[in-house]
Structure 1
Amino acid sequence: MTNRNELKLAYFAAVLNAVIVGFSFLFTKMALEHARPMDTLMYRFAVSFAVISIPVMFGRVKLNYRGKPLFKALLLATMYPLGFFTFQTFGLQSASSSEGGILYAFTPVLTMLLAYVFLKEVTTRLQMLSIFLSVFGVVFIFAMKGSGIAVSNMTGLILLFLSCLAFAGYSVLARSLLKTFSPAEISYMTLGIGFVTFLVISLTDHATAGTLDTLFEPLASSSFIVSILYLSVLSSLLTALMSNYALSKIEASNMSVFSNLSTVVSIAAGAMFLQEEVTVYAVIGSLLIIMGVIGTSRFKRTVPAPRTFHPDRQKFYEDKKIV
């Protein structure tokens, strides 16, 4: 059973994870100014996998996959990072980033449903209301911006929905696998598979187009290097470790709602670094998101404490038993 200190650390990891992801939108935009999406993903996972491999090679991080369900772990990697980023990348080619933001806000709802079906996680009514409050906060921000969902972008919308479903499936399956695997083992495998897959895709694209000589051109830009370091070390490696740790301690439906905090962070980041205007509706939506996250954490189902067995008391009743 998770003790109070571990629970506090798990919630701290969930919040920090959302903060890092919130800032990642800025660095992703910077990176995409110098490289194509698949090349950016290749560099991102190459660096993150290289960094996590260093403590593994020196024995500072112990990995043991013997006798563990590797097929399920491979299935996990197909959901995230492979499924999530692939569906998202191609979905955003047909749909707008605003539509992606609106759909991504519904990920906690999908996670709650999948967690109920596959993990038998019970969500209280107040938790459900809190999750929907958080989702409404995100939708409210995008709606007030004048952003909506265009039915004409149906292909992109379906792909974006599949990316959300992939991430929800990852949260639920990871929650189950973390009873067998350590957070480091899950993170190492998913990052490694992501690196190999995106490397093959990137090399294939360049070989087909005859542009292999341009693969390393983005490395001439210092802003690209800074962006990749943030996206790989912080927004891929550290977030993978923190989210997996949090999922090992708290429910998947509870963890997923923290992702909506990224919207609040991205608004703050835009105001601080891009001098974007912070509107009243952005503040209202952000407050709704924060209230929803707090409510989801506070209104969870309480589990009664197990009864303590007292041998002396049991002996007393046995002595008084009438035969």
Structure 2
Amino acid sequence: MKYKEFVFLLICNLLWAGNFIFGKFVIQEFSPLWITFLRWMIAVSILVPVAVVHDNLNYTKMRSILKESWPALTCMGISGGILFNVFTYSALQYTSPTNGSLVFSLTPAITMIFSYLIWKEKVSIMQMAGLSISFLGVVVLLTSGNILQVFQMDFNRGDLLMIGADLCWMIYAFSCKKSATVPPITAIALSSFIAIFIMIPFLMLQPLDFHQVTRTGINGVLYIGVFASVFAFILWNMSLRIVGASKANLTVNLIPVYTAAIAIFIGEQVSAAQLWGGAMVLTGLVLTSQKRKELICIRVNKQEVDLGEVTIKRPHCVN
């Protein structure tokens, strides 16, 4: 994994941690569908001008991209733009952020399994070890060090909805890979526009009560639309195309760690178990980010072979 993309993923998951925090408050004033719609309305209003400048997007180019990549972009809009958000915000109505984060941390395991089955992506022993350590760190973090407590948690309707969000996110990650020929910013802008267009008819079934909207709710929606959508998704898509779906999704285990860091920032106490759990997550991410070196063995019948400026003696392996 290249260091620049790894840093992008670190920032991206920090912004998404804020999405869980603000989402818990915003869901009290907006329905899941309205939060999702407003989120992408804000995002598209920023992404489209950026795409015009950065990617030289114009009407002719947009038509060409939609003609060639509309299946992948539509899948991105439905899975990541609509369903993932509706499942997530619906889950926060019934479950705690702790349970929701734990269930969401299953995404890397689910993605890695499907990457192996569908895309035939190789999974090394180092990656499996890193995944196990990261997941164990999440369990330690969310159970305050009492790992056996995970078997006593009361998984409710919200937890089941988060599993649905996991599956939607996995589909979104694979859809991003299928749209690799489209510039990242343009891909997010167009897929978000498609998501908005699909949601409009359903909004009529859930009229928004403007009287119950407060400044807290508005600020929450603005954060979700700008930081957790525009910046986070740009960083995510840029990184995903370099490191692949399996490695990128491993970093979502950082979301509970960031939650603990935010707790320190706002003055709440953080236990030793939370610190140890965060350290385990980071250790696991370091292991999974290591690219396995493969040896290329060259065997020849002669004792010595001249390859231009390099002379290789039999038998010899080079990195």
2:287 corresponds to which of 295, 302, 309 = 295
TM-score, normalised by the number of residues in structure 1 = 0.80
Amino acid at match of 2:17: G
CA distance in 1, matches of 2:169, 2:42: 22
In structure 2, the gaps of 5 or more residues are: 299-305, 309-319
Q: Does 1:264 align with 2:265?
A: no
CA distance in 2, matches of 1:26, 1:142: 15
1:22–1:95 distance in 2 versus 1, CA, 3 Å: closer
Alignment partner, residue 318 of structure 1: none
Q: Does 1:42 align with 2:46?
A: no
Q: Does 1:168 align with 2:170?
A: yes
Q: Does 1:202 align with 2:197?
A: no
Alignment partner, residue 227 of structure 2: 234
Report matched runs for 1:205-284 at 5 Å: 205-206=206-207, 214-215=209-210, 218=213, 221-273=214-266, 275-284=267-276
Give the length in aligned residue pairs.
Answer: 294
Q: For 1:271-319, what per-residue CA distance to the aligned partner results, in whole angstroms no more than 9, with x for missing partners?
A: 212x221001100110011111111102x333568x9xxxx969xxxxx
Alignment partner, residue 111 of structure 1: 111
Partner of 1:121: helix, strand, or coil? coil
Residues 23 and 220 of structure 2 are in contact (CA less than 8 Å); yes or no, is this contact kept in structure 1? Answer: yes
Report matched runs for 1:77-116 at 5 Å: 77-116=77-116
Residues 109 and 132 of structure 1 are in contact (CA less than 8 Å); yes or no, is this contact kept in structure 2? Answer: no
Amino acid at match of 1:301: R
CA distance in 1, matches of 2:150, 2:233: 31
Taking only aligned residues, the RMSD between alpha carbons, in angstroms, comes to 3.0
Percent of matched pairs sharing the same residue: 18
Amino acid at match of 2:221: I
Deviation of 1:241 after TM superposition, in Å, equals 1.0
Higher strand share: 2
In structure 1, the gaps of 5 or more residues are: 207-211, 315-323
Deviation of 1:88 after TM superposition, in Å, equals 2.5
Residues 77 and 195 of structure 2 are in contact (CA less than 8 Å); yes or no, is this contact kept in structure 1? Answer: yes
CA distance in 2, matches of 1:246, 1:126: 21
Partner of 1:144: helix, strand, or coil? coil
Alignment partner, residue 321 of structure 1: none
Amino acid at match of 2:278: S
Deviation of 1:27 after TM superposition, in Å, equals 2.7
CA distance in 1, matches of 2:142, 2:153: 16
CA distance in 2, matches of 1:235, 1:80: 13
1:78–1:149 distance in 2 versus 1, CA, 3 Å: farther
Residues 47 and 230 of structure 2 are in contact (CA less than 8 Å); yes or no, is this contact kept in structure 1? Answer: yes
CA distance in 1, matches of 2:200, 2:260: 32
Q: Does 1:24 align with 2:35?
A: no
Residues 121 and 251 of structure 1 are in contact (CA less than 8 Å); yes or no, is this contact kept in structure 2? Answer: no
Residues 79 and 170 of structure 1 are in contact (CA less than 8 Å); yes or no, is this contact kept in structure 2? Answer: yes
Q: For 1:132-179, what per-residue CA distance to the aligned partner results, in whole angstroms no more than 9, with x for missing partners?
A: 11111112222238874778756543332121111122212312321x
Residues 55 and 183 of structure 2 are in contact (CA less than 8 Å); yes or no, is this contact kept in structure 1? Answer: no
Alignment partner, residue 209 of structure 1: none
CA distance in 1, matches of 2:261, 2:167: 27
CA distance in 1, matches of 2:127, 2:17: 23
Amino acid at match of 1:296: T
CA distance in 1, matches of 2:69, 2:295: 32
Alignment partner, residue 315 of structure 2: none
Partner of 1:88: helix, strand, or coil? helix
Partner of 1:68: helix, strand, or coil? helix
Partner of 1:246: helix, strand, or coil? helix
TM-score, normalised by the number of residues in structure 2 = 0.80
1:266–1:34 distance in 2 versus 1, CA, 3 Å: same
